Amino acid sequence: MRSDYGARAVIELARRFGNGPVQSAEIAACESIPEAYLEQLLTALRKAGLIRSSRGPRGGHELARTPASITLGEVVNALEGSFLSLDCLGAANGSPASTAALTREVWQEVSDSVERILGSTTIEALLERHRARAERAMYHI
pLDDT in tens, 30-56: 999 999 999 999 999 999 999 999 999
Q: Using a pLDDT cut of 90, give the percent of the chain over it.
A: 68
Average the pLDDT over 115-130 and give the result: 96
pLDDT in tens, 74-103: 999 999 987 666 665 555 566 767 888 888
pLDDT at position 87, please? 60
Contact 5, 38 (CB under 8 A): yes
Q: pTM for the complete prediction?
A: 0.85
What's the topology of domain 2-140?
A: Arc Repressor Mutant, subunit A (1.10.10)
pLDDT at position 88, please? 58
Task: Identify the sign of the CA torsion 86, 45, 23, 134.
Answer: negative
Domain ranges in the chain are 2-140
Cβ neighbors of 68 (< 8 A, separation 6 or more) are 122, 123, 124
